[in-house]
Amino acid sequence: MVRSSLAVLVIDENRIRASIIEAGLREAGHQRVTVIHDVTGIARRIAEIEPDVIVIDLENPNRDMLENMFQLSRAVKRPIAMFVDRSDQASIEAAVDAGVSAYVVDGLRQERVKPILDMAVSRFNAFSRMARELEEARSELESRKVIDRAKGILMKSRGLSEEAAYTLLRKTAMNQNRKISDIAQSLVTAAGLLGPAEDE
């Protein structure tokens, strides 16, 4: 483990993502890590923490305010500039693609900061992947629910067994070249429009 004296401040309104970054920084040997979710009173916090590196999510609507404060505020004793190694265009692109940016105090050597930025980028990407998978799982669950409701409607209105109801949905979907969940959703919507059939 590398012993580091760098103070790192993570500003992210997304608590889960912030804690993932924080864990990554601690694993990499950074002990002085502070996480802030709400920027209210941040000038005072920065004066207290005196961070060497600040990591910000790009969705943060306060980014313009923060960037200006880093340069001008009386609370910030050492000027803080955006991490930009102009020779390393790929690194900048990777950060923006991932949705993260880093700011460092004046005079801090590039090679001390780069691993922190790289770690943040990979953790942001991992978080996005996780969020996407979660969303897929949620929509999978939703479509299973709607298929169950559509099966119920068919079983009741046409006297079919569960298996026959599902077969009918699947066949219709194949014939129309649509997803089975779309057919199910259409059926549920139509049943809702046609009256109290479903919940009688």
**Contact positions vs other proteins (CB under 8 A):** 58-65, 67-69, 72, 81-82, 84, 89, 92-93, 96, 101
In whole angstroms, what is the distance from residue 98 CA to residue 115 CA? Answer: 15
Residue 130 in contact with residue 122, Cβ under 8 Å? no
| Minimum CB–partner distance for residue 59 and other proteins (Å) | 5
Q: Which residue number, 38 or 200, has a Cβ lying nearer to other proteins?
A: 38
Q: Which residue number, 25 or 100, has a Cβ lying nearer to other proteins?
A: 100
| Minimum CB–partner distance for residue 89 and other proteins (Å) | 7
In the chain, which residue ranges form alpha helices assigned H by DSSP? 15-27, 42-49, 63-72, 89-98, 110-158, 162-176, 180-193
| Minimum CB–partner distance for residue 34 and other proteins (Å) | 22
| Minimum CB–partner distance for residue 82 and other proteins (Å) | 3
Residue 56 in contact with residue 12, Cβ under 8 Å? yes
Q: Which residue number, 51 or 154, has a Cβ lying nearer to other proteins?
A: 51
Q: Which residue number, 61 or 159, has a Cβ lying nearer to other proteins?
A: 61
In whole angstroms, what is the distance from residue 92 CA to residue 96 CA? Answer: 6
